[in-house]
Amino acid sequence: MTTEKHYPPTPPKTSPVPGETTPARSETHAPARRIGRLLILSGILVILLWAGLKTWRVYQAAQSLLDVEPEARALLAGGMNQIDPVAAEALVLRARRDITTLHTELALIRPIAPALGWVPRYGPTLVAAPYLLNMADAGSEAAALAVTSLKPALAIVQSESFGAARLGELLPILTDAAPEMKEAAEAMGRYSLARQDLAAAVDQETLPWRVRQLLEQSDKWLPAAEDGLRLLPQLPVMLGQNEPKRYLILAQNEDEMRATGGFITGAGVLTLSNGRITDLDFRDANNVDNWREKPYAFPPQPFYDFMSLELFGFRDANFWPEFPISAQKAMDLYVYGQGGLPFDGAIAIDQEFLRLLVDATGPVPIPGTDQRISADSLLQTLRQARDIQEGQNVQEWVRDRKAFLGGFAAAIQAKIETDFGSVDPLKLAANLVQAAEQRHLSIYMRDPELGAVLTANGWDGSLPQSPPGDFLMAVDTNMGYNKANVFVERELSYDVRLGPEPQGRLTVTYRHTGPTGGNPCYQGVDQEFEEAAEYLAIADQCYWNYLRAYAPAGSTLIDSSQHVVPGQTLYSETTWDSSAQTIGDVPWLTVFANFMLVPRGETVKSFFTYELPAGVVTAQKSGESVYRLIVQKQPGMKSELLTVTVTLPEGVALLAVAPAPTAIEGAKLIFATELDSNQHIMIRYR
């Protein structure tokens, strides 16, 4: 049986009726065309109106932002104590509103801006625009959150009656502001990422002068802003809001270099309760240990090998450059020798920290004396105070030569308690941040949450557990029982060759700037102590140095310099004649070590050549390769010259580098800088 397929019937064709005419085609479609034109014109008009409205909004927002800067300058002209909190909040919120308007109105343009680098004259600025907008958006959000939540604190600080007694009033405000501070810290994190993206996308020197000026100011304050916003929510706990906090202060002397910043010359116990100092006591570090009544452990092996020490005392507790390890050792040894409750944390400072502190507080009078210490005179005063005083015999001098530490601590406490209103809090905060960034201040807290914040800020003196690429740190330990670092200058040179088997070579150059000749080198200053010699006489000695180089885990030593230290210069009378050794210092890094002698007036070089793990270069999915290097500054070390030379593999193209190299010689990128804080280098190539 077949199935038929049916189709609908076709209507019959009809012919025009005689006398009628068919409408012309043009007449039939004319109204439609007119409507189409009208719609197109209307659309164009709408687009023009939209564009005009956007242009007007952008213009108004930009003009308003231009007015913000002179208003902000006028607002800040009288210093922090003269700022009107209400006007400051209004100004910041207005800037935030204008920036949000710009960010929204330019949303369609931002994606195409990076492709406009070809535009004559304005190309770099157009490419930079999206990054600058992202920076402005994140920065204004952080500022608005901070100003609004901290406005009540500003009113207290500006009060004529403000002083140490009222510091406790700030803590509840900081506690209430903690959620906003965390949001502000996240916003500043976005700001920082946008700044990094801008640096990778555009050469800053090609941007307009005014933009460069703003970026330079931003770069100056960015670390302090990030650190401060992370720290502020934790300050109430650190300052003893809910319960007293007890901290150990390690007063280190960088004239006798040790791993965390210098020989521990003094120890202080600081107790804080509700933001106030309730106890501050300093003593000579030599008097902490209880040698007569308690047994002490064997020291780290180098102390025995090179200094003939057989017991591990408090003053040598900072052997490890990983400050959390050294801090815990110091806290345990202090309680072991002196008794008392466990500490909540430890704070390591040096002479440069004290100079920065006095620079912020202004000259400090020393109670019971006619002395006033300024930032300019501090170092000389500290050294003179250590010298024998008129009327003292040698025994009294040996016993009391560090008594000045207690007087200085009392002077700082008195300044805070009686004259804190004269201190510029912004300058104080800036100097404290500078001290931490330049490694003259390290803070360790037992509380994990507080510790995490300090680690994020880079203030806890820790070594990175998982460096994102290459890592380098050169650590000196003065083993001569002297203050020779006054006369020693150090310079670092690091040469890296990238490729299938990456290799690094660290060269450390020591120059003793003291006079050549004089007495032969002999470890220790026994004679100088017997004669109560002046401070610089104890410093004018040869330099016995235990050098450690920290590299990424998996690095393998290939070659090193050979150093000879004659036995007649050492207490042990055992000659050291060896190349470098690989030691187990911290488990997450590889450590190479050597021992050397730098005679007065001479120059000595030490080097380590080693194979780096392949992981120092990260392969990206895009086919690009990224090399990152962190050079960590030793705490307490003076600013020193650092030269890094990176040789790229053959045939690769350089895509991006930050910071800009000092010179490029073929495949070599050369970076010459002052190592006054931790340095970061990033190189991207294909």
Question: What is the pLDDT, as a whole number, of residue 403?
Answer: 65
Task: Evaluate if residue 38 carries a pLDDT over 60.
Answer: no
Question: Two tokens at 598?
Answer: 């730098």
Question: What is the pLDDT, as a whole number, of residue 107?
Answer: 74
Task: Evaluate if residue 3 carries a pLDDT over 50.
Answer: no
Question: What is the pLDDT, as a whole number, of residue 33?
Answer: 64
* Per-residue b or e along 388-409, where b marks 16 or more CB atoms closer than 10 Å to that residue's CB: beeeeeeeeeeeebbbbbbbbb
Question: What is the pLDDT, as a whole number, of residue 391?
Answer: 59
Q: At what angle do helices 209-231 and 167-201 cross, to 10 degrees?
A: 140
Q: Which residue has the tokens 């065309």?
A: 33
Nearest to 677 by CA among 646, 644, 631: 631
Nearest to 641 by CA among 476, 489, 472: 489
Beta bridge partners of 544: 597
Question: What is the pLDDT, as a whole number, of residue 380?
Answer: 86
User: From the CB of residue 435, how many other CB atoms can be counted at a distance below 10 Å?
Assistant: 22
Alpha-carbon separation of residue 68 from 64, 65, 72, 84, 212 (angstroms)? 7, 5, 6, 15, 18
Question: What is the pLDDT, as a whole number, of residue 133?
Answer: 83
Burial class (CB in 10 A: 0-12, 13-18, 19+), 638: middle
Amino acid (1-letter code) at residue 173:
I
Yes or no: say if 314 and 216 are a contact pair by the CB < 8 Å rule. Answer: no
Question: What is the pLDDT, as a whole number, of residue 28?
Answer: 54
Beta bridge partners of 589: 552
* Residue positions counted in the chain: 686
- Give me Rg for the CA atoms of the chain: 34
Question: What is the pLDDT, as a whole number, of residue 136?
Answer: 84
Question: What is the pLDDT, as a whole number, of residue 54?
Answer: 41
Is the bond leading into 659 cis (omega within 30 degrees of zero)?
yes
Task: Evaluate if residue 393 carries a pLDDT over 80.
Answer: no
Question: What is the pLDDT, as a whole number, of residue 399?
Answer: 58
Interatomic CA distance for residues 228 and 456, integer angstroms: 11
Yes or no: say if 679 and 642 are a contact pair by the CB < 8 Å rule. Answer: yes
Average pLDDT of the segment spanning 15-32: 52
pLDDT band at 420 (very low <50, low <70, confident <90, very high): confident
Interatomic CA distance for residues 396 and 388, integer angstroms: 9
Question: What is the pLDDT, as a whole number, of residue 47?
Answer: 44
Average pLDDT of the segment spanning 177-188: 92
Average pLDDT of the segment spanning 130-151: 88
- At 188, is the secondary structure helix, strand, or coil? helix
| Residue pLDDT, tens place only, 293-302 | 999 999 999 9
Of 136 and 395, the structure prediction assigns the larger pLDDT to: 136
pLDDT band at 389 (very low <50, low <70, confident <90, very high): low
Poorest-confidence range of 57-66, 509-518, 648-657? Answer: 57-66
Interatomic CA distance for residues 48 and 185, integer angstroms: 40
Cα maximum dimension of the chain: 143
Q: What is the DSSP letter of 677?
A: S
Task: Evaluate if residue 268 carries a pLDDT over 50.
Answer: yes
Burial class (CB in 10 A: 0-12, 13-18, 19+), 584: exposed
Task: Evaluate if residue 605 carries a pLDDT over 60.
Answer: yes
Interatomic CA distance for residues 408 and 373, integer angstroms: 9
Amino acid (1-letter code) at residue 632:
Q
Question: What is the pLDDT, as a whole number, of residue 49?
Answer: 46
Task: Evaluate if residue 571 carries a pLDDT over 90.
Answer: yes
Q: What secondary structure, in 3-state letters, does 428-477 show?
A: HHHHHHHHHHCCCEEEEECCHHHHHHHHHHCCCCCCCCCCCCEEEEEEEE
Question: What is the pLDDT, as a whole number, of residue 381?
Answer: 82
| Residue pLDDT, tens place only, 548-569 | 999 999 999 999 999 999 999 9
- What's the chain's average pLDDT? 86
Task: Evaluate if residue 289 carries a pLDDT over 60.
Answer: yes
> Which stretch of DSSP H or E encloses residue 307?
helix 301-307
Average pLDDT of the segment spanning 597-615: 97
Q: What is the DSSP letter of 541?
A: S
| Residue pLDDT, tens place only, 494-551 | 999 999 999 999 999 999 999 887 789 999 877 666 665 688 888 899 999 999 999 9
- Give long-range contacts, CB 8 A cutoff, 24+ apart: 23-28: none
Poorest-confidence range of 11-25, 349-363, 407-421? Answer: 11-25
Is the bond leading into 425 cis (omega within 30 degrees of zero)?
no
pLDDT band at 78 (very low <50, low <70, confident <90, very high): low
Of 596 and 529, the structure prediction assigns the larger pLDDT to: 596
- Overall fold of domain 245-457: Aminopeptidase (3.40.630)
pLDDT band at 31 (very low <50, low <70, confident <90, very high): low
Phi-psi region of 623 (alpha: psi -120 to 50; beta: other; left: phi over 0): left
Question: Two tokens at 211?
Answer: 């933009």
| Residue pLDDT, tens place only, 473-494 | 999 999 999 999 999 999 999 9
User: From the CB of residue 119, how many other CB atoms can be counted at a distance below 10 Å?
Assistant: 13
Question: What is the pLDDT, as a whole number, of residue 392?
Answer: 57
Yes or no: say if 501 and 300 are a contact pair by the CB < 8 Å rule. Answer: no
Contacts of 522 (CB under 8 A, 6+ apart): 542, 568, 569
Question: Two tokens at 633?
Answer: 């500054």
Interatomic CA distance for residues 498 and 616, integer angstroms: 9
Task: Evaluate if residue 50 carries a pLDDT over 50.
Answer: no
Question: What is the pLDDT, as a whole number, of residue 130?
Answer: 84
Q: Select, from the ranges 118-127, 199-208, 609-618, the one with the highest average predicted confidence (pLDDT).
A: 609-618
Interatomic CA distance for residues 413 and 420, integer angstroms: 10
Q: What is the DSSP letter of 314?
A: G
Task: Evaluate if residue 456 carries a pLDDT over 70.
Answer: yes
- Overall fold of domain 470-685: Immunoglobulin-like (2.60.40)
Question: What is the pLDDT, as a whole number, of residue 41?
Answer: 55
Yes or no: say if 424 and 79 are a contact pair by the CB < 8 Å rule. Answer: yes
Task: Evaluate if residue 642 carries a pLDDT over 90.
Answer: yes
Question: Two tokens at 652?
Answer: 């690769």
At 468, give phi and psi (nearest 5°).
-80, 65
**Distance, C-alpha 243 to centroid of its chain:** 30
Domain boundaries, the chain: 39-238, 245-457, 470-685
